[in-house]
Amino acid sequence: MSTSTLRARPRAMLAVAGLALFLLTCAAPAGAAPAGGLPAYTPDATAPRSAIPDVYKWNLTPLFASDAAWEQGRVKLLADIPALAKYEGRLGDPKVLADCLDHYFRLHGDANCLTLYANMRLTTAQTDDRAGGMRQQGQGALNELMMAASFIRREVLALSADKMALTFRDEPRLAPYRAYLENLRRRASRVLSPDAERALALLGDNLWAEIDLNEIPSPLEDCFNGALNDIPWPMVKDEQGRDVQLTLANYSVFRQSPNRAVREGAVGAFLGTLRQYQHALAASLAGQYKLDVAYARARGYKTALEAYSDKDDVSTAVYDNLLNTVEANLPLLHRYVALRKRALGLPDVHLYDLYIPLAAGVEADIPFPEARQTIIEALKPLGPAYGKVLAEGLDPRNGWLDLYPHMDKESGAYSSSVYGKHPYVKMNYQNSLDDMSTLAHEYGHALHSDLAMKAQSYPDYRYTTFLAEIASTCNEALLNDYLVARAPDDAQKAYLLVGRLEDIRTTIFRQTMFAHFERTVHGFVEQGVPVTATLLDSTYTDLVRRYYGPDYRIDANDGVEWAYIPHFYYKYYVYVYATGLCSGIAIADRVRELGPPAVDAYLAMLKGGCSEAPLTLLKGAGVDLTRPDAIAAAMRTFERTLAEVEKLTAKKK
C-alpha cells in the first residue's frame, strides 16, 4: 500500500451523495439491524459465481455502471492527462499551484476509481482475460498520470521554505493541500542533483517512491524469487506414507501435520534442500542489503534503518523500542515453548513442532448472519457512531461486501476504498471461526477508510502503511475477548486463547525476530563485514536460540531458514506487523479500561487519515511507540492468556 493522495469533496455533499447511493442500491433504512430476510446460502468454493445470490456480491455500479462505462472513463482520463502540462514550469505562482493540484487530484481520483474497479472485477474472475486486461489498462492509465505529474514534485521541492510560506499565505485554496505539500517537502534536503537522482532511479532507488510513484520492485527480490522457484524440491512422505512432491506452497501444510514423522521429514527435506543453495541465496540477500545501505548513504543517512524509517516519517526510536521491549519479555515466549512441550507430550520442541495446533480445532458453523451479529455486539465498546457505520457496511444489501468463495475467485480477503463512495470488502467466507475473525479484521480496515474519507480531503484520507494494521487487529482483539468471555466450554475457550497466543507469537515475536535479523545484517554491511551464508546462518541461529529458549532444540539446518523469508527483501518493513498488533491490542485495552474517552481518541486517529505524521496520530489515540508501554501491553496480554491456557491444559490432565 502506498501513502497519501487526492482531492476532497465537501462533507455535506458527500453525505447527500452517500444517501442517494444508498436509496438506489437498497430498500432498507441505513443502519437497519439484522440483515433479516436474506436468502440462505451454503458456501461452496467450487460453485460458479452465478450460483451465489446477488445480494452477497459487492455492487460496483457506484464506480462504473458497466464495463463499457469503465472503458469510456478510461478513454476520457487518458484524453484529460495531457492538459496537466499547461501548469509545468509555473508552480511558483500560488494560484497556478492551486489550480494544478485541483486538477491533478481530480484526475488521480478518477484513476483510482478506474484501477480499483478493474482490480475488483479481476478478484472475482481470475481467469477472465478481459478482466486481466482491464487491470493492466487501469494500472497503465495511473502510471501515465504519475509520469505526466512528476513535474509537480520537482517544482514543489525547488521552492524555498520562505517562498513556500508565502505561497500558503497568498493562496487560501492551498489549505487542503498543506499536509500533502509538507510531506512532499519533508525530505527536501535529501534530494540530490538531477543527474544523481536520475542515476539512483536507474539503479532502482525507491526511497522516494512514497507519494507519486509506485514501488519499484527490487531486482534482487526478483532474483530471490526466481531462485526459490528454480530449486528442485524433493519428494516427501505424506500421512498415508505416500511419496508426494514438496513445494513452496505445500511446505507450510506439511509443517503442521499432526503426524510428527511427516512434519519432521518435510521440514528436514525443505531446509536441507535450501542449504544446498545457501551461497546463491546469501549473495542475493547481501546484494539487497548493500543496495539499501548505498541508497541511504547516497542521500546522507548514516544507516539504512534511518533512511527507511524517515521514508515513513517514523523515528528509529520506534524500531529500537520494539526490539528492546520484546527482548526483555522473551522469558514469556520461553514459557510458551515449555507449555507446548508439556501439552503436546514432547521430549523437546523443534521447529516442526511450533505450528501444530495446541488445542483441538473446534467444530463451528457460523452462518454469516450470526457472524455479523456477533461482530456488531463484540465491537459495541467502540461506541454507537462506530456501530452504526459497521452495521451499514455489514448489511450485504449495501453493496460493500463480496462474501462467498466461488470458482475463479481470488483466495484470501482484503478491503479497498474509493474516495467519496464506500469501502469494499472481499471475503471467502465459509462459516468458520477464523472466517468470522477475518471479517472483523477486514471491517477494521474498511471502517478506518470510511471514517477517514468522511473526515478528510482526498489528499489526506489514505492512512499510511504504518497505521494500516491497527484498526484491523483492534477489532480482532475485541472479538476474541467477547468470544472467550462467552465460550460454552473449556475446549472452545482453549481454542480461542491459543489462537490469540499464536497471533502474538507469529506477528509480534516472530516478526520482531526478523526485524532483529534485518538490523543486525544491515549493520554488518554498514561496518564493511562480508555477509556470507555462514554469517547469516550463525546470526539467525543465535536469534532463534535467544527467542525460543531452553526447551527449544535447534536442528542442523534450522539456521538456513533466513534463506526463504521474502520479508527480508521488504526494506525494514516487517516490524510494522509487530507495532500494528501491539498498538491494536493496546487500544483495545484502553477502550476496555477507560471507555468513551479512549474511544473518542481512537476514532480521532482513524478519522485523521494521513493528515498528520503517523506517530502524532497514534499518540493522539494514547499509544506512544517510542516508549515501551504499548509493546508491554501486548506482552501482558500474552502473559495473561498463557496463564489461562496453562490452567486449562493442567485441568485436562
Catalytic residues: 442
CB of 449 to Zn ion, least distance (A): 12
Q: Contact at 8 Å (CB) between 547 and 335? A: no
Give the nearer residue to Zn ion in terms of CB position, either 337 or 623.
Answer: 623
Give the nearer residue to Zn ion in terms of CB position, either 457 or 472.
Answer: 472
| Interface with Zn ion in residues 66-105 (CB under 5 A) | none
CB of 432 to Zn ion, least distance (A): 18
Q: Taking the alpha carbons of 175, 176, 177, 178 in that order, is the dihedral positive or negative?
A: positive
CB of 445 to Zn ion, least distance (A): 6
Residue in the structure block whose three cell numbers are 477472465: 128
Q: State which amino acid sits at residue 248.
A: L
| CA–CA gap between residue 501 and residue 132 (Å, rounded) | 39
Segment 279-283 long-range contacts (CB within 8 Å, at least 24 positions apart): 279/532, 279/533, 280/227, 281/224, 281/227, 281/533, 281/563, 281/564, 282/531, 282/532, 282/533, 282/536, 282/563
CB of 423 to Zn ion, least distance (A): 13
Give the nearer residue to Zn ion in terms of CB position, either 419 or 443.
Answer: 443
Give the nearer residue to Zn ion in terms of CB position, either 112 or 437.
Answer: 437
Give the nearer residue to Zn ion in terms of CB position, either 310 or 469.
Answer: 469
CB of 544 to Zn ion, least distance (A): 27
Expressed in percent and rounded to 5, the helix, strand and coil fractions of the chain are 65, 0, 30
| Interface with Zn ion in residues 470-529 (CB under 5 A) | 472
Mention every residue, 6+ apart, whose C-beta is less than 8 A from residue 409: 49, 123, 124, 125, 126, 402, 428
- Per rule CB under 5 A, count of chain residues that contact Zn ion: 1
Give the nearer residue to Zn ion in terms of CB position, either 217 or 412.
Answer: 412
Report which of 594, 576, 531 is spatially closest to residue 308, judged by C-alpha positions. 576
Q: How far is CA 19 from CA 14, 29, 197, 607, in A?
A: 9, 10, 47, 20
Mention every residue, 6+ apart, whose C-beta is less than 8 A from residue 453: 417, 419, 420, 461, 609
Query: How many CB atoms within 10 Å of residue 380?
Result: 14
Element containing residue 415 per DSSP (H, E): strand 414-416
DSSP state string for 82-121: GGGGGGTT-TTSHHHHHHHHHHHHHHHHHHHHHHHHHHHH
CB of 391 to Zn ion, least distance (A): 21
Helix/strand/coil for 448: helix
Mention every residue, 6+ apart, whose C-beta is less than 8 A from residue 622: 586, 587, 590, 598, 601, 602
DSSP state of 527: T
Helix/strand/coil for 243: strand
CB of 151 to Zn ion, least distance (A): 35
| CA–CA gap between residue 134 and residue 561 (Å, rounded) | 39
Residue in the structure block whose three cell numbers are 499510511: 464
Mention every residue, 6+ apart, whose C-beta is less than 8 A from residue 514: 565, 567, 568, 574
Q: Which residue's Cβ lies closest to Zn ion?
A: 472
| Interface with Zn ion in residues 416-475 (CB under 5 A) | 472
| CA–CA gap between residue 449 and residue 471 (Å, rounded) | 10
Give the nearer residue to Zn ion in terms of CB position, either 118 or 470.
Answer: 470
Packing angle, helices 316-328 and 330-344, rounded to 10: 50
Residue 191: φ, ψ to 5°: -75, 135
Give the nearer residue to Zn ion in terms of CB position, either 418 or 474.
Answer: 474
CB of 119 to Zn ion, least distance (A): 16
CB of 5 to Zn ion, least distance (A): 20
Element containing residue 401 per DSSP (H, E): strand 401-402
Give the nearer residue to Zn ion in terms of CB position, either 329 or 472.
Answer: 472
Give the nearer residue to Zn ion in terms of CB position, either 259 or 465.
Answer: 465
CB of 634 to Zn ion, least distance (A): 17
CA 129-131-137 angle, 5° bins: 100
Give the nearer residue to Zn ion in terms of CB position, either 517 or 577.
Answer: 577
CB of 397 to Zn ion, least distance (A): 25
Element containing residue 76 per DSSP (H, E): helix 67-80
Give the nearer residue to Zn ion in terms of CB position, either 417 or 472.
Answer: 472
Binding of residue 321 to Zn ion (CB under 5 A): no
CB of 239 to Zn ion, least distance (A): 32
The cell for 603 is: 476514532
Q: Which residues bind Zn ion (CB under 5 A)?
A: 472
